[in-house]
Structure 1
């Protein structure tokens, strides 16, 4: 029997604190070699402007996670076009889990909430792996759903002394500021000039920008820059000027998002990666002193994180008898 879990069921079964702890364990597993995470397989549905002209993509993200013996696949779509015209969220995902020993599908569940949850959680986990600071000032670029999850996760590990928000539409930024104000201990500020949001300990971008918003001149030493989007949110000059570059998955980080076209030009190679977050988490690589350095930190997103969170959700669903059971195949 396969357990079916809706988004509302999943929300009952997992908290952000639990998600951050799960991501910690999974980063360690990646560093120790007990996580198997092939690169994403991308199906272009017109995201790059070609045929078919649906202005979207689908990624297949399989993984095995050793520490909780979970295996599965996240199938995630990002579609603008007609989906946007109908007022639907850009991202939509499903997560399929399989018993790795038996090969039976044990769960089919909403992957959208898990995807948002773990993306926020991996930011908090990665940052707490690289820095022992307890207080942070944060510059947030973007004011959508993911910007909210970023703050929910960060406050599980850090006290935010100041949150500075920039968004291309100020009204959206102001609404987001009100939404997260209760989560932030310090002041929450909305700015019109992008540079005003870069004078912080950490700068996070969660936008759909295809052109750089943040340039080299905006970033001071001692700043950790986290370009989380799948596009070009920070300038090539900033990336090339960085003292340290940490990523979650070398191949994926080099071929998506901020580093993609620098890789295509041969200006960034695997040798330019300081270390993976997993190597640091597992104690295989010591963190350099980042106080006087410009650091780029890119947890671009790995299927292992979704599978790890989904695996824990499934176990709790079984324990609490939550979810529907469906028999896809009847064996005689």
Structure 2
């Protein structure tokens, strides 16, 4: 069995490779050659954590695996760790034997961002120029960077439940030489593409916040 610790993932997996892998498996799913298993996700009654399993089989790529992990909302404050924690397990499809255990935190961040950016590449209008963001936490920075690498947006607008976190988005936009503006929720009507990435269970993005023809990539709870 191959064991790949979390600390090695950033040196082994690029955003470009993540995008290509997700795009390939999405195409396989559309062709009926890959599928996800039903998700198991439960509140464990400790530390307000949600824990679960996500698995699937890619027949085209001959890949069988699952991700075990979840969301610990107190991690950052109590332990200095990111709130999402996960580990990926791969299995030999021919025998069922475990073949790899892989640190899943950075991998999940790249994969989640790639999923949104693949959808933007193939489904957003070709003339989309304004990118809207709901959420400004750890994962939101990955979502934003991947989207800006996928399309040439003229501007990023963003809203977050905690406005003091919006500089996280502004920094990524500045790194990519794209102007950023904080807006209220109704201001998102100016967006051609909207990415949501929050852990909120409350409804946030409503119909009156979205213009006709806007592509929406929803991630999170």
> With CA pairs under 8 Å and 6+ residues apart, which has the higher RCO, 1 or 2?
1
Unaligned 5+ segments in structure 2 are none
C-alpha contact 1:97 1:106 (8 A) present in aligned 2: yes
Q: d(CA) in 1 for partners of 2:75 and 2:193?
A: 35
Q: RMSD of the alignment, in Å?
A: 2.0
1:213 aligns with 2:214: no
| Deviation by residue 1:196-218 (Cα, 9 ceiling, x = unmatched) | 23411011111122222222222
Q: Per-residue deviation at 1:170?
A: 2.4
Partner of 1:20: 19
Three-state SS of the structure 2 residue aligned to 1:26 is: helix
Q: Give 2:175's aligned residue.
A: 182
CA drift at 1:227: 2.7
Structure-2-length-normalised TM-score = 0.91
Q: Which aligned pairs between 1:21-170 and structure 2 lie closer than 5 A?
A: 21-45=20-44, 52-81=45-74, 84-131=77-124, 133=126, 135-170=128-163
Deviation of residue 225 (structure 1)? Answer: 2.5
Relative distance call for 1:206 and 1:131 in structure 2 (3 A) is closer
Q: Is the Cα–Cα contact under 8 Å of residues 75 and 83 in structure 2 kept in the other structure?
A: no
Structure 1 segments unaligned to the other structure (5+ residues):
46-51, 231-332
> Superposition pairs for residues 258-297 of structure 1, below 5 Å?
none
Are the structure 2 counterparts of residues 111 and 97 from structure 1 closer, same or farther at C-alpha, using a change threshold of 3 Å? same
C-alpha distance 23-175 of structure 1, shift in aligned 2 (>3 A): closer
Report SS of the residue matched to 1:39: coil
Q: What secondary structure does 2:108 align onto?
A: helix
How many residue pairs get aligned? The number is: 221
CA contact (8 A) 1:203 1:226 kept: yes
Three-state SS of the structure 1 residue aligned to 2:95 is coil
Give the conservation status (yes or no) of the 8 Å contact 2:123–2:215: no
Relative to structure 1, the CA distance from residue 175 to residue 103 in structure 2 (aligned partners, 3 Å threshold; closer, same or farther) is: closer
In the other structure, the counterpart of 1:249 is none
Counterpart CA distance in 2 for 1:177 and 1:108 is 35
Q: Is the 8 A contact 1:138 1:203 kept in 2?
A: yes
SS at match of 2:202: coil
Q: Compare the two structures and name the one with the higher strand fraction.
A: 2
Partners of 2:157 and 2:181 within 8 A in 1: yes
Structure 1 contact 134–157 (Cα < 8 Å) conserved: no
State the structure with more CA Rg. 1
Q: TM-score, normalised by structure 1?
A: 0.62
Kindly indicate whether residue 171 of structure 2 is the aligned counterpart of residue 194 of structure 1.
no
Cα separation, 2, equivalents of 1:11 and 1:114: 8
The Cα shift of 1:82 comes to 6.6
Write the distance in 2 (CA, Å) between the matches of 1:82 and 1:204: 24
